[in-house]
Amino acid sequence: MDSPEPRLADVEYLEVQCKSALNPVKGMGFNWSLNPYTGCEHRCAFCYVRAFELRADRPSDDRYGRAIRVKINVAGVLRSELSRKSWHRETVVIGAATDPYQPAEGRYKLTRQCLQVLRDFSNPSGMITRGPMIVRDLDVLTDLARRANLHITFSIPTVDDEVWRRTEPGTAHPRQRLRAIEKLVAAGIDVGVGMAPILPGLSDRPDRIEAVIKAARAAGATGLWAGMLHLKDGTREHFMSVLAKHWPELVPRYERAYLGRAYLPPAFGEPTLKAVSRLRVLHGVSDRRQVVLKPPPEPEQLSLLYKHVIEKEGEKLAVCLLVDSGKLYRFPYEDTKGIRGLEVKARYLRGEMEHLRLREFQPGLCRYVERAGQAV
Ligand code: SF4
C-alpha cells in the first residue's frame, strides 16, 4: 500500500535562523553540502544521522525526527555565500544529512528556494532524497540542469513492502519514488538510484536485490550504486531495537557481524556488492535518456573584454565593456559595484585591456551588461 509521506501529528517545527548555509564536508566525493532542515521526519531505522544526533546530545532513539529545525533564512544566506568572490562554483549537494523533501518542505519550500538560488548562480548541484515531492520542483530543476551540472540520487534500498514499512516508516513507498524518477528522467534530468543501506539478512537476498535493479532500469535511472549498512553508536541502538521487535531471529547474526565495529567486514558485504555490480550490468542500468539537459559549454561569446575606466579629475565616471559579439557598452561606474569582481578589476586594471571570463562573475552578467549598459 502506498504511503503519501504524511506529516506526523506529534512533529514539532522549530523555526531558526542559520548563520551559514553551506557546510564543508570531507570524504563524501563532494566538498559542500546544504541542509535546509535539521532532523528528518522520515525516521529511518538505519539513519546514520542518529549517530550525529547522539554526539550532539540530542535524541537518537524513537524521539528522533519529531522536532525539525527549519532554517527559514537558508536561501538568503546561500545567496550571500554564492555571491562571495572567494566562491569558486564547487558542487553543492542538498540533503546529505536530512531529506530535503521531507514533509516540512511541503509547507516551507526551502529546498525549492535553495534550488532557485543555485539556478540563478548556475552552480553545479547534487541532491539526495527519498521524497517524490521533488516532482513539484521540476520547473526549477530543469532550469538548473540547463545551466549547470545536476545529479540527483534517489535512495531506494529495497522495494520489499515489509522491509520498507518497518525500516523507513516515514518515507513514501518505493514505487512512488520510482515514478518520480521516471518523470525527472523523462524531462532530461540525470537521476540515479542509491541502493543504500542494504540490510544483511533482509534486503541482501538475491531476489530482492534484483527486484530493485530491475525497477531502477524500468524507471530509467541513469545509474545505480549500493552500500551496506553501517551501525555507529546512536544508529546502532535504535536499529537493533527495531530488529529485535520485527526480526528477533536476526539479532545474533547482527551482533556477530557488527561486534566492536560500525562497518561490516568486507567478507560479509563484498559478495552482495559484487552481485549488485553484476546485475546492474546484466539489466543495463545506464544513462539512456532520450532528452538530456546539460549546461552549454562556456562559449567565447559569453566572455567580456574589459575596456577601460573613464576617469576625470580622479573621479571614476564609467566602465566600458566589450561583449564578444562586438558591441561596446558603457556603465556608470557606480552601477558596477554590484557586479562581483568587476569593480575590483576595474580598480586595478585601469586603462588596460583584460579578457574576463563570465564564470568569474555572477551568472547572467553578459545579459545584465546588455540590458543595463548603454551601447556606444
Ligand atoms: S530519509 Fe535519510 S536523513 Fe531522513 S531519516 Fe531516512 S536516512 Fe535519515
Q: Give the pLDDT of the chain (376 residues) as one tens digit per residue.
A: 444 344 556 899 999 999 999 999 988 888 999 999 999 999 999 999 998 888 888 888 888 999 999 999 999 999 999 998 888 889 999 998 999 999 999 999 999 999 999 999 999 999 999 999 999 999 999 999 999 999 999 999 999 999 999 999 999 999 999 999 999 999 999 999 999 999 999 999 999 999 999 999 999 999 999 999 999 999 999 999 999 999 999 999 999 999 999 999 888 899 999 999 999 999 999 999 999 999 876 544 445 555 555 656 666 666 666 555 556 666 666 666 555 455 444 444 433 334 444 434 444 566 666 666 666 6
CB-based contact 327:375 (threshold 8 Å): yes
Q: Which of 225, 194, 239, 247 is nearest to 48 (CA)?
A: 239
Tell me phi and psi for residue 200, to 5 degrees: -55, 135
Cβ of 320 closer than 6 Å to ligand 1, yes or no, is no
Identity (one letter) of the amino acid at 290? Q
Q: Closest ligand 1 atom, CA of 129?
A: 1
Indicate the top mutation candidate among 35, 94, 98, 230 to test ligand 1's pocket, ranked by most ligand atoms within 8 A of CB: 98
CATH level 3 topology of 12-282: pyruvate-formate lyase- activating enzyme (3.80.30)
Quick one: pLDDT at residue 54?
Answer: 87
Quick one: pLDDT at residue 85?
Answer: 80
Instruction: Please tell me the distance from the alpha carbon of residue 4 to that of residue 110, in angstroms, as a whole number.
Output: 20
Residue with CA closest to ligand 1 atom 7: 47
Quick one: pLDDT at residue 311?
Answer: 59
- Quick one: which H or E segment has residue 302? none
CB-based contact 108:136 (threshold 8 Å): no
Cβ of 43 closer than 6 Å to ligand 1, yes or no, is yes
pTM: 0.79
Domain with CATH 3.80.30.30 in the chain: 12-282
